[in-house]
Chain A
């Protein structure tokens, strides 16, 4: 049985990775999960300098999901290179670094700093809904998506994954724009902008007022967007959004995802990423699927 998938020339042992921002750089979860068993670890977004992030409260639970507005707090690329990459290098898994910035120049600075690092892929976050500059501002207009993708591709030594926002009218426009700009892969979806109000205190639940919604409640939206994008572009797609278990992951793969990321579910079950790998294997045994590639985009009409 083959679980290996190819992601722009990088072979993952299996299609399961962690969603950026939910897993730090893996150290904390390594007490619960054998990182060697994951296809890749996708790190929390890192910028050229340390970012303080947003005021608290930064998270709120909603029915079947959660909102977050962390604001991309990160230690900056220097400490990240010194501490986080060497930590991940101890494991037999692929390293995908999520990159964030306020401006094109800041993204490029991080990408260039990573050029000689043992990093397998870069994931460019142009879809964070919780920062005022950068983030989603780059991800909601096809021209800017194409432009920043092209600029980053000029400087990147590793293959580039563009992480797309679902907060758009037509996801396929953004997917095509990233592909036109030279993206090697896409990942989707980042969180959906939401709001929660504490009716007892009549205040916003989050200090940032709005936050990004994630969790199983957004899963069908993510599956739909992965499916539509897979029809629209030729580059591989990493599917994420509310994956709680292997069934959800397989749904995403059938919709057209080459790999999947598990995010919010880590908070509900710290061992979930490893369990999703086992669950995919069990599904393949049950349906006698010899190669996981047979499942990618294999959905059909009833």
Chain B
């Protein structure tokens, strides 16, 4: 399902930045073209201003505000690059390229929107764009974030590893504890969670769309760094590898092996 979307390179201005949980930041970026063209499930490449950091950081889009020409990125500080971003204030500028990758295919079936950890943010824009019955299931380590925004979009069920809120355990534990059902899964989160959801979808014979991540370099499909294994030979690579940045990051769970 590799299609070419128009990509834009912009110097974006930070409109607002705040810490929303320990190590997790929310940044609104003023980007005219990217905001106008982005869809839920796509990501942007964010470039560091510090010149020793050469590679862009791929960050999923959490919200799109076309009217205000802005996109919201919610990211975890995991290294020097994201640490640099987190120290920037409103008014400062960052180079950004996007929107990248393919978004989630949107239907009308009753849907599970499932996010785990830093895979939670992209599910927010999807929740806003989907016009169907939604059950939002979010898995946190401990501290919750983006809860108010999600509650505006539908029923929210949560799981925490330490049991401090919602179901103690993971997102599947929350689904079972609340006896939830749906006809399609949209998910983003750590690989073990996605693996469990792929299995759950197969057992229940429902559609399942997952958003994957991997270390990237170019972000546009040229360098072949961010591949994942595919079930069939991929049309572009001619081997059983798909580029997460280009054919993904959203895949039908059945087409990838991970």
Q: How far is the CB of A14 from the nearest CB of chain B, in Å?
A: 21
Q: Contact flags (1/0) for B226-243 with A, using CB distance below 8 Å? A: 111000000011111100
Cross-chain contact of A53 among B4, B7, B241, B246 (Cβ < 8 A): B241
Query: A52 vs B239: C-alpha distance in the bound complex, in angstroms?
Result: 6
Verify B222–A65 contact, CB threshold 8 A.
no
Verify B222–A52 contact, CB threshold 8 A.
no
On chain B, the residues within 8 Å of A68 by CB distance are: 217, 223, 225
On chain B, the residues within 8 Å of A32 by CB distance are: 7, 9, 220
Query: A55 vs B222: C-alpha distance in the bound complex, in angstroms?
Result: 17
Within 8 A of A (CB), among B39-57: 47, 52-56
| Contact flag A52-B221 (CB < 8 Å), given A264-B54, A268-B47, A271-B9 | no
On chain A, the residues within 8 Å of B214 by CB distance are: 56-57
Within 8 A of A (CB), among B124-143: none
Size of the chain A interface, CB-CB below 8 angstroms: 38
The reply on B215 being an interface residue by CB < 8 A is yes
The reply on B27 being an interface residue by CB < 8 A is no
Q: How far is the CB of B8 from the nearest CB of chain A, in Å?
A: 10
Q: How far is the CB of A86 from the nearest CB of chain B, in Å?
A: 15
Q: How far is the CB of B219 from the nearest CB of chain A, in Å?
A: 8
Verify B215–A65 contact, CB threshold 8 A.
no
Query: A215 vs B86: C-alpha distance in the bound complex, in angstroms?
Result: 25
Verify A75–B237 contact, CB threshold 8 A.
yes
Q: How far is the CB of B63 from the nearest CB of chain A, in Å?
A: 25
The reply on B97 being an interface residue by CB < 8 A is yes
Who on chain B is nearest to A205 by CB? B215
On chain B, the residues within 8 Å of A22 by CB distance are: 218, 222-223
| Contact flag A58-B7 (CB < 8 Å), given A68-B217, A76-B238, A268-B55 | no
Cross-chain contact of A59 among B53, B223, B239 (Cβ < 8 A): B223
Query: A198 vs B159: C-alpha distance in the bound complex, in angstroms?
Result: 29
The reply on A267 being an interface residue by CB < 8 A is yes
On chain A, the residues within 8 Å of B6 by CB distance are: 31
| Contact flag A59-B9 (CB < 8 Å), given A22-B223, A23-B222, A52-B239 | no
Within 8 A of A (CB), among B192-219: 214-219
Given contacts A24-B224, A66-B54, 17 further A-B contacts (CB under 8 A): A24-B221, A28-B221, A31-B6, A52-B239, A53-B239, A56-B225, A56-B227, A58-B215, A58-B227, A59-B55, A59-B217, A63-B52, A70-B223, A73-B224, A73-B239, A75-B237, A267-B219
